A and B are shown apart, each in its own frame.
Chain A
Amino acid sequence: MNAFQNVGRWLLPVAVLAAGLALWEFAVRVNDIPPYVLPSPLAVLQTLASDWPVLSESLGVTLLTTLQGFIAAAVGGVALALMFNQSRWLEYSLFPYAVILQVTPVIAIAPLLLIYLPQQVAVIVCAWIVAFFPVLSNTTLGLNSVDRNLSGLFQLYGASRLQTLRYLKLPAALPYILGGLRIAGGLALIGAVVAEIAAGAAGAGSGLAFRIAESGYRLNIPRMFAALLLLSVAGIVIHGLLALVSHLVLRRWHESALGREN
């Protein structure tokens, strides 16, 4: 029964996908729908293969932006949370602005950023704005969730602030930080895509989102689908990688990473 459930968890979504694609392919063929209206799945795959040189280059650009935005968000979010944790005044002074940055839709900020910053930088800043807040708020939550008795123990043994941070607060906050990073990974990709679409500039070094917009103007619908597929896969891979890292780091001790047996 259990083995059956395990297989089912993988098999069912795959079966749904296969059925959906088959239906789509069938509908396009039977109704003879032209590819500029709705390309069949096979046509999308063919486009992906034939346009691979262009699309792979764009994929690289978008992934690089996402990675830079993600790293900036991870470093910035954790660093800000550490600073807030050490100084109440700093937290009171700056935290509201972090919230404002988070709640203002990035798609509305992007055009302004593009005016004042070079496009390359503006795109990364967009990715950072969207992605850093979950890291900041999760890390803050983690740093404040330290066991009171353990804090007392560190106090009893005369631990310095740095020792308390390094040996107690950071390890205690690690599951929360990793949770924040998992959210930030997906958001960094979204931020990068939003900024690329807002930028809309042509030429070499343009990301996947730009390819989608460009193909839309040219009614190259199969390429739009192919680029969308790549973005989707990129998102899944980012999520999977971060989940894997989180699992590997926490597997020895944290409830979230333990098996359900016993």
Chain B
Amino acid sequence: MAGPASSSGDRRAEALAVQLRGATKVYDNGVAALGPLDLDVARGEFVSLLGPSGCGKSTALRLIAGLGAPSSGTVNVSRHASEAEGRRSIGFVFQEPTLMPWASVRDNVRLPLKLADLPAAEAGRQVGDALAQVGLSEFADAFPRELSGGMKMRVSLARALVTDPDILLMDEPFAALDEITRFRLNNDLLALWRTLNKTVIFVTHSVFESVYLSQRVIVMTARPGRISREFRITTSEPRGEAFRTSAEYAAHCREVSAALTPSYSGQPAA
């Protein structure tokens, strides 16, 4: 049940979804992009990685996803026992919707199941569920080019959810959207997180988005990417539009922004 994460015999490891120990990434051209980085993410937790562009937060996310190996250190992700049945422990949402333009919304969402050779009937049911979760059931036969930016992002989210993963990795998924759409998707994502009980690791460069969404905000500094500070965001009320305008929210944002500032001043102009 517990994956390879429990290597140190640490009891907390039982409840960990992701564990990074001294993970670094040095690219072939010699650029040290990340680390060393230590990171524990508990099951069911919503964590944001916050930092300026080039601070290695996307690199960290790709390592967790298994897209590339760390140059040193370890990356442990708790795995499903039932991964063979079309379930995968990780769903990934990219910054762009990353949809196949030649396939309908339904076929795009079905892709992970098709790659896992799931029977068509079973796959069809799961695709229907995933589309319903993001509110796109009526658009199953549309093609990506016929959708707005926000809807494409929803399709991308549905595709990440269709395998019912334990962990959802999101790489600045709403960065390219307008503010109104972004707020709506933030709320929808929170609602999904509450009902589906997933672990979410959310990469963003927006202080406001990270504070609004997460239980824990991890501020990173650039070149190479390291954790500079961590904030636990506790709220007295459920998150929603009221929280967005509350004094509590503003205080958290101020605190996190202040932690982020040194990482700007220490750098040459980007």
Contacts and interface: CB of A to CB of B under 8 A. Distances in A.
Physical interaction between A and B: yes
Contacts of B112: 157
Interface stretch (A109-117, A146-154, A180-188): A146-154
B115 A149 contact: no
| Number of chain B interface residues as a range | 20 to 34
B196 interface: no
A19 interface: no
B102 A253 contact: yes
Interface string B95-115: 010101111000000011011
B65 interface: yes
A171 B66 contact: no
A167 B114 contact: yes
Interface string B54-80: 000000001001110000000000000
Contact of B102 (A156, A163, A171): A171
Contacts of B115: 154, 157-159, 163, 167
Interface string A164-178: 000110011010000
Contacts of B145: 253, 258
Interface in A134-156: 147, 149-150, 152-156
A159 B101 CA distance: 19
A157 B98 contact: no
Contact of B100 (A152, A156, A158, A168): A168
B92 A156 contact: yes
B126 to A, nearest CB: 14
A252 interface: yes
B94 interface: yes
Contacts of A167: 100, 111, 114-115
A161 B76 CA distance: 26
A167 B117 CA distance: 13
B98 A153 contact: yes
Contacts of B92: 152-153, 156
Contacts of A149: 94, 96, 98
B90 A156 contact: yes
A153 to B, nearest CB: 6
A174 B100 CA distance: 13
Contacts of B67: 152, 155-156
B154 interface: no
Contacts of A159: 115
Contact of A253 (B62, B98, B143): B143
A254 interface: yes
B96 A174 contact: no
Contacts of A155: 67
Contacts of B90: 156
B252 interface: no
B240 to A, nearest CB: 32
B66 A252 contact: no
Contacts of A174: 102
Contact of B98 (A147, A163, A171, A254): A147
Nearest to B91: A156
Interface in A169-226: 171-172, 174
Interface of B: 62, 65-67, 88, 90, 92, 94, 96, 98, 100-103, 111-112, 114-116, 143-145, 163
21 contacts: A149-B94, A149-B98, A150-B98, A150-B100, A152-B67, A153-B94, A154-B115, A155-B67, A156-B67, A156-B92, A157-B115, A157-B116, A159-B115, A167-B100, A167-B114, A168-B100, A171-B103, A252-B143, A253-B101, A253-B143, A253-B145
Interface of A: 147, 149-150, 152-159, 163, 167-168, 171-172, 174, 252-254, 258
Given A152-B92, A156-B65, A171-B100, 4 more contacts: A149-B96, A152-B62, A153-B98, A163-B115
